[in-house]
Structure 1
Amino acid sequence: MGICFSSTHNDGDESDHNAEFAGGNVTLVSSKDAWDQKLSEAKKDHKIVIANFSASWCGPCRMIAPYYIELSEKHPSLMFLSVDVDELTDFSTQWDIKATPTFFFLRNGEQFDKLVGANKPELLKKINAIVDSEPPRHAV
């Protein structure tokens, strides 16, 4: 399991984050307003949110990003968000991010679970538990 510890690391190239950490059904959150909007949307649609707090310079974050994107495509009933801790430093501090990647699991805007580190089997286990516990959705 790999983790990177938060630091004030900033190599000036933050544009990498968009390409590597968003894709599939993953939405890159680049502002507090965008975060609030996505959480409101998830609440309205009764979706559980998985938020990946990561950094473009973090090797384990880069390693798990394609897998996170793959999971987002397999589980459209969940909302997958990605937050760059360097881009939203104050916001990440409010979430008490000590290491990256950190995954938060939210229901109705409230955290109910957390995973620190790029642990693919544990991430899959947590997501499968959520999907298995969801009531079946009826097509509209």
Structure 2
Amino acid sequence: MGGCFAKSQNDDDDSEHPIEFAGGNVQVVSTEESWKEHLAEASKDGKTVVANFSATWCGPCRMIAPFYTELSEKHPSLVFLSIDVDELTELSTSWEIKATPTFFFLRDGKQVDKLVGANKPELQKKITAIVDSGGGHCEEK
């Protein structure tokens, strides 16, 4: 449901329509160093990372971006990241991104779940399951 496949390198699309992939509590990852820092900080804080690998030219990515931002505001105990597959091609390749958007759910830097496509109900369900399982934040009682 709702996914874009990798854009070929020689597509000349000058009609850049920037979409707001950041907002709310979503942090844009623009370097591999930044990616590593976010993962390390989340692990240290006992938080689960939701990583959205997307592209500005991808219609379903643009469609789900406001919903992703909304989820980031509703669930501040999770770390929401946005990665542009065209800006960070090596990182995207290392995570074997075949279609956008692809959402990874990471705990301690390791994948615990994954969702391919702009499926709002499924994204909501996976995030709720993580929060309900206590994966959002480890608090001492």
* Structure 1 and Structure 2 fold alike (TM over 0.5): yes
1:29-108 equivalences in 2 (<5 Å): 29-108=29-108
Cα offset, 1:91, TM superposition: 1.1
Q: Is the 8 A contact 1:55 1:86 kept in 2?
A: yes
Superposed CA deviations along residues 79-115 of structure 1, whole A, max 9, x for unmatched, are 0000000000111011100000000000000001100
Cα offset, 1:7, TM superposition: 2.0
Structure with the bigger percentage of helix: 1
Cα 1:15/1:129, change in 2 over 3 Å? same
Cα 1:13/1:107, change in 2 over 3 Å? farther
Cα 1:10/1:110, change in 2 over 3 Å? farther
Identity among equivalent pairs (%): 67
Partner of 1:4: 4
Superposed CA deviations along residues 15-44 of structure 1, whole A, max 9, x for unmatched, are 825xx1000000000000000000011011
TM-score, scaled to structure 2: 0.90
State how far apart, in whole Å, the 2-side matches of 1:72 and 1:88 are. Answer: 22
Structure 1 residue runs of 5 or longer lacking an equivalent are none
Question: Which residue among 18, 35, 53 is the counterpart of 1:16?
Answer: 18
- Which SS does the other structure have where 1:21 is aligned? coil
* Letter in structure 1 aligned against 2:116: V
Number of residues of Structure 1 aligned to a counterpart in Structure 2: 137
Cα 1:25/1:110, change in 2 over 3 Å? same
Structure 2 residue runs of 5 or longer lacking an equivalent are none
TM-score, scaled to structure 1: 0.91
State how far apart, in whole Å, the 1-side matches of 2:14 and 2:38 are. Answer: 27
- Which SS does the other structure have where 1:52 is aligned? strand
Q: CA RMSD in A?
A: 1.9
